[in-house]
C-alpha cells in the first residue's frame, strides 16, 4: 500500500501506519497557514512543519523541495521559498538587527500556495482514508474467519488447563497440562517452553506428530497448537 504526496511516496504495511499518517497530515494541513522561519544558516531549511510520519520525514523539507521543483528560478531552494511567501519584514528586521546579514526571515506562504498545498493534502487524506477503510474491512473479515474457525474447533469440547512452575537449564518457566475431552474421550498434552529449543507439545509418547493423528485426537492437538498458552508467543515451535 502506498500514497504519493508532494511527489514523495509513502508506503504502508499495516492499518495503524495509515491511521498515523492521516493524523500527521491533518496536523500538517492546519500548519500550512502558519508563519515559519526561513533560515539561511546551517542545514535546516525551515523551522516549521515538524510533524513526522513513522518514517521520520520532515514534512517541511518535503514541501520545500516540492515547491522548488515547481517554482524554482535558481538552484537555491531558499530563494524559491522566499518567492512563494509573504514576509513579516518587521520581525525579520528585529531578528537580524545584531547580525552581520539577514540570516532569518519570518514568512507565510502566499494564499494561492496555501490552497495548492492543502488541496494536495486533502487528496492524500481522501486516498488514505479509503485505503484505511478497505484495510479495516479486510482485517475484520480475517478476524471473523479466525473466530469462526476457533468456535468450530472448540464446539462441544471440555478443555481444562493445569499450570505448573518448573525449572530447567534456563531457569524458572511454566508447564501447562491440557486435558481436552471430545466425545467422551480425554486427550492429555503437555506444553512448555524448553530452554534453547522453543515450544514443545508432548503426549504420553513424547513430542506429538500431527501427521500420525486423525479424528478427535488430531482436533485436540490442533486446539493446543492454535490456542495453547504459548500459541501467540514469539518463541519458535
* pLDDT tops 50 at residue 169: yes
- Between 42-51, 125-134, 193-202, 224-233, the lowest mean confidence (pLDDT) is in 42-51
Give CA–CA dist 176/211, Å, rounded.
23
Which of 97, 119, 149 is a domain's end point?
149
3-state class of 172 per DSSP?
strand
Question: C-alpha grid cell for residue 38?
Answer: 526561513
Cβ-contact 215, 228 below 8 angstroms? no
Residue 175 in domain: yes
* pLDDT tops 90 at residue 222: yes
Which of 149, 183, 204 is a domain's end point?
149
Within this chain, do residues 168 and 66 fall inside the same structural domain, yes or no?
no
Within this chain, do residues 103 and 124 fall inside the same structural domain, yes or no?
yes
Within this chain, do residues 115 and 179 fall inside the same structural domain, yes or no?
no
Give CA–CA dist 39/104, Å, rounded.
5
Residue 234 in domain: no
Within this chain, do residues 72 and 16 fall inside the same structural domain, yes or no?
yes
Which residues sit opposite 8 in a β-bridge? 5
Within this chain, do residues 138 and 190 fall inside the same structural domain, yes or no?
no
Predicted pLDDT of residue 129? 97
Structural domain tally of the chain? 2
172-184 pLDDT, tens digit each: 888 899 999 999 9
Residue 235 in domain: no
Residue with cell 534456563: 170
% pLDDT > 70, the chain: 89
Cβ-contact 105, 37 below 8 angstroms? yes
43: exposed, middle or buried (Cβ count in 10 Å: 0-12, 13-18, 19+): exposed
Within this chain, do residues 35 and 105 fall inside the same structural domain, yes or no?
yes
Within this chain, do residues 112 and 191 fall inside the same structural domain, yes or no?
no
Within this chain, do residues 18 and 109 fall inside the same structural domain, yes or no?
yes
Average pLDDT of the residues in 144-164: 94
Which of 116, 149, 182 is a domain's end point?
149
Within this chain, do residues 186 and 140 fall inside the same structural domain, yes or no?
no
Confidence of residue 209 (pLDDT cuts 50, 70, 90): confident
Within this chain, do residues 75 and 185 fall inside the same structural domain, yes or no?
no
Predicted pLDDT of residue 235? 47
Within this chain, do residues 133 and 165 fall inside the same structural domain, yes or no?
no
Residue 203 in domain: yes
The parent domain of residue 89 ranges over 2-149
Residue 124 in domain: yes
89-122 pLDDT, tens digit each: 999 999 999 998 888 899 999 999 999 999 999 9
4-45 pLDDT, tens digit each: 999 999 999 999 999 989 988 998 898 899 888 888 765 455
Residue 232 in domain: no
Residue 181 in domain: yes
Question: C-alpha grid cell for residue 83?
Answer: 518567492
Residue 90 in domain: yes
Amino acid at each position: 500500500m502506498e500514497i504519493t504526496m508532494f511527489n514523495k511516496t509513502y508506503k504502508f504495511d499495516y492499518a495503524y501506519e495509515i491511521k498515523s499518517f492521516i493524523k500527521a497530515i491533518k496536523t500538517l494541513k492546519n500548519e500550512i497557514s502558519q508563519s515559519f522561519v526561513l533560515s539561511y544558516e546551517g542545514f535546516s531549511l525551515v523551522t516549521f512543519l515538524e510533524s513526522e510520519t513513522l518514517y521520520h520525514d520532515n514534512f517541511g523539507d518535503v514541501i520545500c523541495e516540492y515547491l522548488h521543483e515547481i517554482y524554482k528560478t535558481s538552484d537555491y531552494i531558499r530563494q524559491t521559498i522566499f518567492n512563494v511567501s509573504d514576509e513579516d519584514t518587521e520581525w525579520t528586521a528585529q531578528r537580524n538587527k545584531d547580525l552581520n546579514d539577514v540570516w532569518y526571515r519570518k514568512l507565510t506562504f502566499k494564499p494561492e500556495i496555501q490552497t495548492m498545498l492543502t488541496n494536495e493534502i486533502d487528496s492524500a487524506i481522501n486516498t488514505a482514508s479509503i485505503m484505511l477503510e478497505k484495510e479495516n474491512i479486510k482485517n475484520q473479515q480475517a478476524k471473523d474467519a479466525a473466530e469462526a474457525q476457533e468456535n468450530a474447533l472448540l464446539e462441544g469440547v471440555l478443555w481444562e488447563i493445569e499450570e505448573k512452575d518448573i525449572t530447567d537449564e534456563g531457569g524458572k518457566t511454566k508447564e501447562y497440562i491440557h486435558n481436552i475431552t471430545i466425545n467422551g474421550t480425554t486427550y492429555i498434552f503437555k506444553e512448555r517452553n524448553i530452554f534453547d529449543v522453543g515450544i514443545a507439545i508432548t503426549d504420553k509418547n513424547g513430542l506429538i506428530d500431527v501427521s500420525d493423528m486423525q479424528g478427535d485426537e488430531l482436533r485436540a492437538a490442533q486446539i493446543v497448537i492454535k490456542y495453547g498458552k504459548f500459541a501467540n508467543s514469539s518463541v519458535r515451535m
